[in-house]
Structure 1
Amino acid sequence: MTSTDAAPTSTQTFTSLDPASGEVVGTHPIHSAADVAAAVATARKQAEWWQALGYDGRKKALVRWRKLIARRMEELAALMARETGKPAGDALLETALAIDHLAWAASHAEKVLKRRSVAPGLLMVNQAASVEYRPLGVVGVIGPWNYPVFTPMGSIAYALAAGNAVVFKPSEFTPGVGEWLAATFREAIGRPVLQVVTGYGETGAALTTAGVDKVAFTGSTATGKRVMAACAQTLTPVVIEAGGKDALLVADDADVAEAADAALWGAAANAGQTCAGVERVYVHERVYDQFLDELVARAERLEARPGGQVGPITMPSQVEIIRRHVDDALARGGRALVGGPVPEGARFVQPTVLVDVPEDSAAVQEETFGPTVTVTRVKDMDEAIERANGTRYALGSTVFSKDQGMAIAQRLRAGMTAINGVISFAAIPTLPFGGVGDSGFGRIHGPDGLREFTYPHAIARQRFKPAIALTTFRRTAKEEQQLTKVVRGLYGRGKR
């Protein structure tokens, strides 16, 4: 499939591989900087047509796309499973969640973004004030490989619903998924409002400097910094969804069995390759032993293997990071109650439960992105909160407690928190998703996600002449005295 109206200037190609077997899934073009520029130029033209459709027209178009994806979701899930290695059921779940977000964005864009009246304030009561959120134009989306549909659709769907055209650069590990999304959009809409460019990091870098109006990036913190630096040259705004080192806190009144089940799923689902997955657990000393018994019993029944519930590590270089973190934890006095050192040449990493790991170790402070989890005993929830807040990351978090959940959640430094569930916030279309610190900034999903791909346009319209003329050289000393009396009367009364 050609992703731009112009023929690619480069004839180079690359292949996507099944990480479980190493078999070739597909062959794709390496789009050059010229190809990317052509895609953005096409998107610029398409954006005019797309914006002219209005909210209702865009909603109808996105509904057609949504229905097409829903009818063919098994096809998309199968492709995703081959390119990432994730279980087919997980790929189906990811597709379903993406469809739900697309439906929400399409149906709520007008309500969130349309012009609305706002109060002008007492001093400007003669004015009618309003604000609306206008599309930026062309949004560049650089997507990840771990959730190659759900995560980029959190930007793509919301940017499209807000009235923008989109140029999408999928990960080089999942280019087929990106091409599938663009092809089905073209099939449903008939216009290349959504385009895809494929290739390696150079293609993504070209997108950041191709004149897009905003870049939405998901990936590592280090790459996110490079994206920001490139965009800074042209003052192109960015949304950065970077790494995480999410903690799960277990209070002494928690349902321990449910907490253990959530911890294991949060740590090992998608082979641990989840930015908002569970990598650290802090457990109140009163229930620590019980929790550990529950977690170990469940983890011992879980195996990473072909066709199993835990798939392979998608990006081969990530295996070395996982190995380094596990080795460092063990070398510094930690113990592996399940799993252990990662064998050389491994495609699959077994679920690993680590205890007695120092807080300053790599396994606690750095993003592992594998099916490993550290479990730490704490004397109370104050200590748990302090440790949970003790890394430079601040993406998601989880709390298990029958009565203390909200109180604990409100003290966590994180973009999102799930109480008595795990990663549930990501599946709720009305909630914003994003982090702070080294986990990035900006938000996708919900009203915040729609506004992220717009700019506010404010209008003040004079309804009648003001009682006191303020913005004129005709203003008199008497009027200034009147202004002083009014302000004092309104805002200066009462005790200090």
Structure 2
Amino acid sequence: MTQTARGGVEAPVEKTADTSPGSTFESIDPRTGEVVATHPVHDGKHVADAVRTARDAQHWWDELGFHQRKLRLDAWRRLLVSRLDEAAELISAETGKPMDDARLELVLVVDHLHWAAANAYKVLRRRGVSAGALMANQAATVEYRAFGVVGVIGPWNYPAFTPMGSIAYALAAGNSVVFKPSELTPGVGEWLRRTFAEVVPEQPVLQVVTGFGETGAALCRAGTDKIAFTGSTETGKRVMATCSESLTPVLVECGGKDALIVDSDADLRAAAEAAVWGAVSNAGQTCIGVERVYVVDSVAERFVQLVLDRAEKLRPGGQPTADLGPITMDSQVEVIREHIADAVRSGGKAELGGETSVRPPYVDPVVLTDVPEDSAAVAEETFGPTIVINRVSTAEEGVERANNGNYGLGGTVFSRSRGMALARRMRTGMVAVNSVISFAAVPALPFGGVGDSGFGRIHGADGLREFARPQAITRTRFRMPIDPMTFGRSTRTVRYLVRLMKLIRGRR
């Protein structure tokens, strides 16, 4: 398995991973090239041992019940808040992102952890359901039981927020977790494990394994009860193939090529601000970032100018106050450069920046217009601080173009009068109307995509149920005078039931 834009499973292609017993690897600050820390490369035996240990711990954790788990998760949340800047410094060191961006990521972590702990009982508890007319003698219930051990394979671009969308919800549902962070951000994963162990010292409910692609593959084969993966589409397919060997269920959150639609009646200043933030924040290394804009022709000139006015003021850098940080993964720099070059070769126009904006490890914001739809800059995930703005005759045409791609993660619509109608036509898992990326900050909303963006959901009630298996139970309350489910039934029993169905279900 090889590293792609967001994968946490694979080793970067430019590195040679030493996976011999006792080997280690270093996490590197992409701004300076300095070593942040050294971590072990965990082999298949270590991973299998971690899963076995997690299974014993899970029995204890599950038996605590919702209330006791909530108390411990709440204690973890308070600890995270008290040490937020400590975690932000580590995230900033391993990814290069500015401190305030790291702090914002952790604020979202805390809010989602609170929601998962507070709502697990309400969403997953046992509840009665109607048994229906035919089975009136049965008491029927459904509840959601923990899977057992959940393996989480996380990315590097949001090394706390993204995996915690699985970890927090899996823990709240009663599972134990074995977390494999990206090899670029192993320290963040280890920090999460250590802080959790401070408030839950009794059992290793949350464990971390570190390493490269082989470690991730070993986790897929180690007997977990579910795998939650975030990374590239191609790697997601390989994870699915590996998990299929043991019929291990998977949740797959992959790439995106999210579009922003600007209608003729949109608040153009707000739309431009949202487009620049969605495209350039975190140096564009956001799966739900804005990579394409389709703006109605009648307002396009004004919109483009507003985008340029904002984007040209932004500067990347390694200082904590920089607008955006470096490109975390070396190999992605060339992808960004090639997408810019291909867009211009294809007839697009570089309104701001160009190939010269690529200054490894930094990339200045780049604004491209009138780029052909079959260009890589429009069709493929760039994962850099670039934005393509194309004109359309109507917002409906913009939605149609947005839906033409293989991805379907998130989307954005700016329209004063038709925002909801346009949003509902987008083939995506999430849409923000007159804002950008806001759905990710709402803990009650499910997060996930369609098509090449994957399947399954984290966050919200759907996210809690994603880490639990429904169990249906019926219990006989009294004997029915007619029982068709026995070889001792009379010849008239089924005829009576057919007449009954015609009477009560054959009418409107």
How high is the TM-score relative to the length of structure 1? 0.97
Contact 2:44 2:215 in 1 (8 A): yes
Q: What is the distance in 2 between the residues matched to 1:437 and 1:233?
A: 23
Question: For residue 74 of structure 1, what is the aligned residue in structure 2?
Answer: 85
Q: Does residue 1:113 correspond to 2:124, yes or no?
A: yes
- Aligned mate of 1:49, from 60, 64, 89: 60
Q: Does residue 1:484 correspond to 2:498, yes or no?
A: yes
Q: What is the distance in 1 between the residues matched to 2:358 and 2:370?
A: 25
Cα offset, 1:486, TM superposition: 1.4
After the TM superposition, which residues 209-228 of structure 1 pair with which residues of structure 2 at under 5 Å, given as runs?
Answer: 209-228=221-240
Question: For residue 101 of structure 2, what is the aligned residue in structure 1?
Answer: 90
- Aligned mate of 1:159, from 148, 170, 177: 170
After the TM superposition, which residues 193-272 of structure 1 pair with which residues of structure 2 at under 5 Å, given as runs?
Answer: 193-272=205-284
Q: Does residue 1:350 correspond to 2:364, yes or no?
A: yes
Cα offset, 1:420, TM superposition: 0.6
Q: Where do 5+ consecutive residues of structure 2 fail to align?
A: 1-18
Q: Where do 5+ consecutive residues of structure 1 fail to align?
A: 1-7
- Aligned mate of 1:39, from 35, 50, 54: 50
Cα offset, 1:490, TM superposition: 2.1
Question: For residue 290 of structure 2, what is the aligned residue in structure 1?
Answer: 278
- Aligned mate of 2:149, from 135, 138, 157: 138
- The amino acid that maps onto 1:121 is G
Q: SS at the partner of 1:399? A: strand
- The amino acid that maps onto 2:333 is V
Q: Deviations over 1:190-222 (max 9, x none)?
A: 031101011111111110000000000000001
Q: SS at the partner of 1:199? A: coil
Question: For residue 415 of structure 1, what is the aligned residue in structure 2?
Answer: 429
Q: What is the distance in 2 between the residues matched to 1:336 and 1:131?
A: 57
Question: For residue 311 of structure 1, what is the aligned residue in structure 2?
Answer: 325
Question: For residue 469 of structure 2, what is the aligned residue in structure 1?
Answer: 455
Q: What is the distance in 2 between the residues matched to 1:393 and 1:23?
A: 36
Cα offset, 1:342, TM superposition: 4.8
Give the aligned CA root-mean-square deviation in angstroms.
1.2
Cα offset, 1:467, TM superposition: 4.0
- The amino acid that maps onto 1:90 is D
Question: For residue 61 of structure 1, what is the aligned residue in structure 2?
Answer: 72
Q: Deviations over 1:252-283 (max 9, x none)?
A: 11100000000000000000000001000001
| Distance verdict in 2 for CA 1:187–1:47, change over 3 Å | same
Question: For residue 180 of structure 2, what is the aligned residue in structure 1?
Answer: 169
Contact 1:9 1:34 in 2 (8 A): no
Structure 1 segments of 4 or more deviating over 6 A? none
Q: What is the distance in 1 between the residues matched to 2:490 and 2:284?
A: 70
Question: For residue 6 of structure 2, what is the aligned residue in structure 1?
Answer: none
Question: For residue 399 of structure 1, what is the aligned residue in structure 2?
Answer: 413
Contact 1:395 1:415 in 2 (8 A): yes
Q: Deviations over 1:110-160 (max 9, x none)?
A: 111010001112221221110000001100000000000000000000000
Contact 1:9 1:35 in 2 (8 A): no
Cα offset, 1:343, TM superposition: 6.2
Q: SS at the partner of 2:492? A: helix
Cα offset, 1:466, TM superposition: 2.2
Contact 1:86 1:312 in 2 (8 A): yes
Q: Deviations over 1:266-308 (max 9, x none)?
A: 0000000000010000011121111111001111111222221
- Aligned mate of 2:401, from 375, 383, 387: 387
Question: For residue 4 of structure 1, what is the aligned residue in structure 2?
Answer: none
Q: Deviations over 1:162-211 (max 9, x none)?
A: 00000000000000000000011111110311010111111111100000
- Aligned mate of 2:342, from 309, 325, 328: 328
Contact 1:254 1:400 in 2 (8 A): yes
- The amino acid that maps onto 1:224 is G
Q: Deviations over 1:327-367 (max 9, x none)?
A: 11011001110120156761001111111100011111111
Q: Does residue 1:19 correspond to 2:30, yes or no?
A: yes
| Distance verdict in 2 for CA 1:9–1:350, change over 3 Å | closer
Contact 2:55 2:176 in 1 (8 A): yes
Q: Deviations over 1:208-251 (max 9, x none)?
A: 00000000000000110110000000000000000000000011
What is the percentage of aligned positions where both structures have the same residue?
Answer: 60
Q: What is the distance in 2 between the residues matched to 1:398 and 1:303?
A: 25
